[in-house]
């Protein structure tokens, strides 16, 4: 995993938000960052995973590394910086849906291409390489190049609309990419045009032409759209009682990767991702402490029974 590791600060409103004034609610703090979240989810699913990212040399950074390492994520290759550890502050409405979020994150951008090249042997020992859009464009391109030398599949998660621009720049170089995982708005950035749900097949084909093997578009409560070299599938979301949407996309990518490494078909891997997301949506934590291979199997079995 290459990308962001931050501290999440979540503020949940007791009532619908009223702009321009104080709102009553409750606060909680947890560990976050897309790449770190995916890494923790994978570790909870029993997958060996290493994290490469930048973390501040401060108390928050020490706690982030200690707690994530204790779950089985290898932080040996993390870059410690003198800048503060990054933070993500989210305001959620009473139903758990995101109202607004503020990210104070520039540490992941400090991972240069030289940093990754110095760890080439570590990267080339991976079965899959995953990077999020918190990484710099130079980092993303270098990662894809290193992976290409050994034919290692690469997964890119755009993270957000502004950060999808960096992923778009990498895709324009027509490097081989195993999977990109945008939502519809991020997909619009990648293909540089408005994309309605009816346009998803053509937008995915545009990315296939750039060398992307699989395009998995997250559609929230409506499920997801998966295109594998032009073969499209619409996959419904699992029935879920939503407590908090934070981290659901990260869990879905981890569920996909877990199944992929076990040899699952693209559709079954995506279904595994939806199952992992549903478990996370039902938790107030960014990464559900209940996530496990058994919990994932039971959720998948429950959906088909």
Cα gap 219→252, rounded to integer Å: 12
The residues, ordered by sequence, that sit 6+ positions from 50 with a Cβ below 8 Å of its Cβ are 1, 39, 73, 74, 75, 76, 77, 122, 126
* Range 192-220 average pLDDT: 96
**Residue 1 falls inside a structural domain:** no
Report the CATH number at residue 217: 3.40.1190.20
**Residue 286 falls inside a structural domain:** yes
pTM listed for this prediction: 0.89
Q: Six-digit token pair at 177?
A: 């990419």
* pLDDT > 70 in the chain, percent: 98
**Residue 7 falls inside a structural domain:** no
pLDDT at 109: 57
**Residue 90 falls inside a structural domain:** no
Q: Is the pLDDT of residue 108 over 60?
A: no
* Nearest of 85, 137, 89 to residue 113 by alpha carbon: 137
**Residue 266 falls inside a structural domain:** yes
Total tally of structural domains belonging to the chain: 1
Q: Six-digit token pair at 185?
A: 């708005």
- pLDDT tens sequence across 4-57: 898 888 899 999 999 999 999 999 888 988 999 999 999 999 999 999 999 999
Tokens 């992992």 -> residue: 276
- pLDDT tens sequence across 222-267: 899 999 988 999 999 898 888 888 899 999 999 999 999 999 999 9
**Residue 20 falls inside a structural domain:** no
Given CA atoms 123, 124, 127, 131 in this order, what sign does their dihedral have?
positive
Given CA atoms 9, 15, 18, 20 in this order, what sign does their dihedral have?
negative
Q: Six-digit token pair at 269?
A: 């891997």
Q: What is the 8-class DSSP label of residue 27? A: E
Domain interval for residue 257: 34-84+106-304
**Residue 154 falls inside a structural domain:** yes
Cα gap 51→38, rounded to integer Å: 10
**Residue 185 falls inside a structural domain:** yes
């Amino acid at each position: 995993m290459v990308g962001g590791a931050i501290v999440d600060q979540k503020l949940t409103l007791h009532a619908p938000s009223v702009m321009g004034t104080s709102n009553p609610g409750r606060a909680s703090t947890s560990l976050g960052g897309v790449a770190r979240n995916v890494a923790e989810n994978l570790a909870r699913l029993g997958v060996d995973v290493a994290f490469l990212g930048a973390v501040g040399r401060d108390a928050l950074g020490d706690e982030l590394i200690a707690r994530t390492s204790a779950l089985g994520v290898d932080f040996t290759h993390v870059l410690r910086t003198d800048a503060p550890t990054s933070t993500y502050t989210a305001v959620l409405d009473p139903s758990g849906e995101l109202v607004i979020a503020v990210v104070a994150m520039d540490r992941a951008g400090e991972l240069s291409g030289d940093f990754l090249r110095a760890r080439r042997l570590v990267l080339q020992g991976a079965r899959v390489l995953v990077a999020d859009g918190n990484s710099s464009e130079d980092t993303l391109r270098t990662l894809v190049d290193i992976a290409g030398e050994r034919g290692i599949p690469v997964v890119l998660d755009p993270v957000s609309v502004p950060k999808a621009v960096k992923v778009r720049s990498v895709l324009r170089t027509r490097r081989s990419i195993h999977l990109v995982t945008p939502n519809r708005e991020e997909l619009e950035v990648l293909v540089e045009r408005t994309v309605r749900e009816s346009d998803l097949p053509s937008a995915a084909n545009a990315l296939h032409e750039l060398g992307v093997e699989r395009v998995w578009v997250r559609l929230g409560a409506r499920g997801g759209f998966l295109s594998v070299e032009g073969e499209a599938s619409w996959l419904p979301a699992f029935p879920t009682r939503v407590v908090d949407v934070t981290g659901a996309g990260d869990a879905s990518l981890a569920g996909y990767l877990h199944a992929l490494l076990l040899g699952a078909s693209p559709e079954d891997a995506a279904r595994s991702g939806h199952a992992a997301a549903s478990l996370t949506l039902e938790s107030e934590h960014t990464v559900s402490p209940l996530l496990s291979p058994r919990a994932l199997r039971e959720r998948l079995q429950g959906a088909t029974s």
